[in-house]
Amino acid sequence: MTKKILMVLTSHDKLGDTGEKTGFWLEEFAAPYFAFRDAGIEIELTSPAGGQPPLDPKSNVPDFQTEDTHRFEADKEAKALLANTKKLADVREADYDAIFYPGGHGPMWDLVNDKTSIKLIEEFWAKDKPVSAVCHGPIVLANAKDANGEYIVKGRKVTGFSNTEEEAVGLTKVMPQLLEDTLIERGAQYASIEDWASHAQRDGNLLTGQNPNSSHAVAKLVLDALS
């Protein structure tokens, strides 16, 4: 039977009070999307507001384009799917085998506190299904709890965008919270390696990647978990 993955994207497009736009990061969506699709996995896309999620404009400048982002730009099917994400309130855990959150700064504002998203993560976790995220995506785990009322990241190995990487992009003071600090506060065994190097962690069904360059590595972990 074909496996099915739910990819959850942000609907938030304002970068704090900077007047700049944010959203999801293209590489962190495109690389896992094609990794999953090429492996024969069915993909459903969702976001809190439904429809077209906001793309962080910085993620589409030449410096950050990759083979996968170019492939996405040329792929009508992928673009149509992205333009018509389902409303998060309309998806059910029972319909999917795994859940994946691309990053970008958007989730730091909306998905971190989104009750529907949190409940969905908790349902996937309770059913022993892979829960995965990359870069700023792991912030979505911060408020999800297990059946005992403990944070699911507590005592578990996780990674995500590091404080030094946030400092490097000059957004430490713009963020409502820092991903690394928040996960550590929740009891996670947070670990990162040098800035921008590919780094992914697996702790059972919890799969996380550090930064945009970790998108392939975490997607592979998800595929391994599903097989």
State the residue for tokens 């699709």.
Answer: 37
Return the structure tokens found at 179.
């991903």
| Count of residues making up the chain | 227
Please, which residues have CB within 8 angstroms of residue 118's CB and are 6 or more apart in sequence?
Answer: 140, 143, 144
**DSSP designation for 167:** H
Considering the candidates 12, 28, 122, 136, report the single residue annotated as catalytic.
Answer: 136
Query: What value, to the nearest 5°, has the Cα angle with vertex 73 and ends 200 and 66?
Result: 40
Return the structure tokens found at 3.
């496996």
Considering the candidates 27, 28, 165, 166, report the single residue annotated as catalytic.
Answer: 166
Q: What is the residue type of 159? A: T
- The reply to whether 135 belongs to the active site is yes
Q: Contact 183/140 with Cβ under 8 angstroms?
A: no
Considering the candidates 135, 165, 180, 216, report the single residue annotated as catalytic.
Answer: 135
Q: H or E segment at 4?
A: strand 4-8
Return the structure tokens found at 107.
């989730």
DSSP sequence for 112-143: GG-HHHHHHHHHHHHTT--EEEETTGGGGGTT
* Burial degree of 70 (CB within 10 A; 0-12, 13-18, 19+): exposed
Question: Which residue numbers are catalytic?
Answer: 135-136, 166
